[in-house]
Amino acid sequence: MKILSFLLLAVVTLPSFAKDDTVNIYSFRQAFLIEPILQQFTEQTGIKTKVVFAEKGLIERIKREGKYSPADVVLTSNFSKLLQLSDENLTQAFNHADINANIPAHFRDQNGHWVALTKRIRNIYAAKTRVASPFTLSYEDLAKPEFKGKICTRSGKHPYNLGLVASMIAHHGEAQTKTWLLAVKENLARKPQGNDRAQVKAISEGLCDVSLGNSYYFGKMITDPAQKAWADSVHIIYPNQQNRGAHVNVSGAAVAKHAPNKQNAIKLIAFLASEQAQQAYSSLNFEYPVNPQVKPADLVASWGEFKEDTLPLTKVAENRSAALKLIDGVKFDL
């Protein structure tokens, strides 16, 4: 009888500890970006965090694990991964008053399956000495003949460019966006390759005059002695300031479909939307807070104020498949 009582106690107690004191995180975001923030979360709540980090393969892992997956929260580094998680039925709806108060509606899934946590702008980088009137540039301008042989970019199918093309479809329709894509392809200085920083390096070396790149890479280059010269060679441009504003991409979070610690997961996401965590994100990775009450870090703010495109991310999501078909159809990367 004593042995049976002990076993029953163990069955009750051990799962209770796991559910009350832990949140398991699958993260596409690098550990150094989130560990200081997670430490603050644990200090304030007593909830421990366990992180599995990988740049690739996490979604496939969640699918393999099925209902036995320990994942509570999935942190993504771009919007495409949030959509994939939701589209493949790997998330569940969640709600929290603080999240709704701190994150604007157009940065939340209308069905409650994901939220954005940070913003990054899809900027144009322009050579300081070779581009006239750079601060009036729009994404549409990249199709103009004056940029023939002067544009560098990474793959058109990379999530950052895919999101931009999807937003162009939302604003202009598929036919006009196809015409634009074909013209931009004709203006490329080289075949799409490398990452966003590689394009700014190419500008500094005179291989091209303009490129597309996320805003936070400018901060990374400025603070890296080996790359500061690249950043010094360009202006960071916020496109379309005369009309709809600059395209915004996001990092974000979702609650896993089979989260064993759902309430802890929601508490973590609410904390990540708080002013404290939003300030940390901006300081650590030069991103823009999604919480409108939080100002960006001083270095980020020094790049100037700008108007952003307020097109809901759900509208961008609706055009993602069409964007991929267009990019493949015009053979942008070939």
Q: What is the pTM of this model?
A: 0.86
- State residue 213 phi and psi, 5-degree precision: -170, 150
Q: Which CATH superfamily is domain 121-247+312-329 in?
A: Periplasmic binding protein-like II (3.40.190.10)
Q: Which pLDDT score, from 0 to 100, does residue 106 have? A: 87
CATH number among 3.90.1170.50, 3.40.190.10, 3.40.640.10, 3.30.70.1170, domain 2-119+249-301: 3.40.190.10
Amino acid at 35: E
Per-residue pLDDT tens over the stretch 280-291: 989 989 999 999
Confidence class for position 110, pLDDT limits 50, 70, 90: confident
The CA-to-CA distance between both ends of the chain, in Å, stands at 73
Confidence class for position 19, pLDDT limits 50, 70, 90: low
Confidence class for position 20, pLDDT limits 50, 70, 90: low
145 pLDDT higher than 60: yes
Cβ-Cβ contacts under 8 Å for 316 (sequence gap 6 or more): 79, 163, 166, 167, 170
Cβ-Cβ contacts under 8 Å for 123 (sequence gap 6 or more): 212, 213, 214, 215, 218, 236, 237, 238, 239, 246
CA distance 138 to 288: 21
CA distance 252 to 107: 9
Per-residue pLDDT tens over the stretch 290-305: 999 999 999 999 999 9
Per-residue pLDDT tens over the stretch 31-46: 777 899 999 999 999 9
Joined together, the tokens standing for residue 52 give 């599995």
Q: Do domains 2-119+249-301 and 121-247+312-329 have the same CATH topology?
A: yes
- Could you tell me if 310 and 106 are in contact, meaning their C-beta atoms sit under 8 angstroms apart? yes
6 pLDDT higher than 80: no
Which has the closest alpha carbon to 25: 83, 72, 59, 90?
A: 72
Write down the domain spans for the chain: 2-119+249-301, 121-247+312-329
Q: Between 183 and 5, whose confidence is greater?
A: 183
Q: Which pLDDT score, from 0 to 100, does residue 79 have? A: 87
Q: Give, as one character, the DSSP assignment of residue 60.
A: H
Joined together, the tokens standing for residue 46 give 């007593």
192 pLDDT higher than 60: yes
Q: What is the chain's percent helix, strand, coil content, to nearest 5?
A: 50, 15, 35
Per-residue pLDDT tens over the stretch 217-232: 999 999 999 999 999 9
117 pLDDT higher than 90: yes
- Could you tell me if 236 and 300 are in contact, meaning their C-beta atoms sit under 8 angstroms apart? no
